[in-house]
């Protein structure tokens, strides 16, 4: 038990040190460079909207869910299916450790998000996207950004 508590504390401290809160346009540029604009039919504005409502552009965010899983990083990728948190067995469909989603580098987050939107639910996998972005005019998410 003490070991688990120490691991959880260390993970939280590490994520705060390594995480980053992106600016809206800075994030949009990075996501565009990574090829997300139009990926699986989703505009760049959809990805920016998703990141805002999931994490407020914070790569270091960890949300502890009622089922014991965690949602991690800028897209709040859940440990139940998508990443390994070392505490609960999971399919780890993105083949990544959850702590890798908490750094200022978005490579693992983007790769995993691309895998998630390949599922039949697409971006609908994220409730925050369904409730705040789906079917809406999202042009304001990119307004003023030099893309």
Residues ≥6 apart with Cβ < 8 Å to 74: 22, 27, 51, 54, 55, 57, 58, 59, 61, 101, 106, 109
Q: Provide φ and ψ at 84, rounded to 5°.
A: -100, 120
Would residue 54 show up in a list of annotated catalytic residues for this protein?
yes
Q: What does the alpha-carbon distance between residue 27 and residue 5 come to, in Å, rounded to a whole number?
A: 33
Residue of 26, 33, 54, 134 marked catalytic? 54
Q: Is the dihedral of CA 139, 141, 145, 147 positive or negative?
A: negative
Q: What does the alpha-carbon distance between residue 127 and residue 104 come to, in Å, rounded to a whole number?
A: 24
Active site residues: 54
């Amino acid at each position: 038990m003490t070991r688990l508590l120490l691991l959880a504390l260390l993970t939280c401290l590490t994520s705060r040190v390594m995480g980053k809160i992106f600016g809206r346009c800075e994030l949009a540029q990075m996501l565009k460079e990574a090829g997300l604009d139009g990926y699986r039919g989703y505009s760049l504005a959809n990805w920016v909207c998703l990141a805002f409502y999931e994490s407020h552009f914070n790569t270091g965010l960890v949300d502890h869910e009622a089922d014991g899983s965690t949602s991690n990083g800028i897209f709040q990728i859940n440990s139940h299916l998508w990443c390994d948190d070392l505490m609960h067995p999971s399919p780890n469909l993105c083949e990544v450790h959850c702590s890798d989603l908490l750094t200022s580098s978005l490579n693992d987050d983007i790769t995993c998000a691309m895998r998630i939107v390949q599922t039949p639910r697409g971006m609908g996998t994220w409730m925050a996207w369904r409730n705040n972005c789906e079917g809406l005019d999202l042009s304001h998410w990119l307004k003023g950004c030099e893309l």
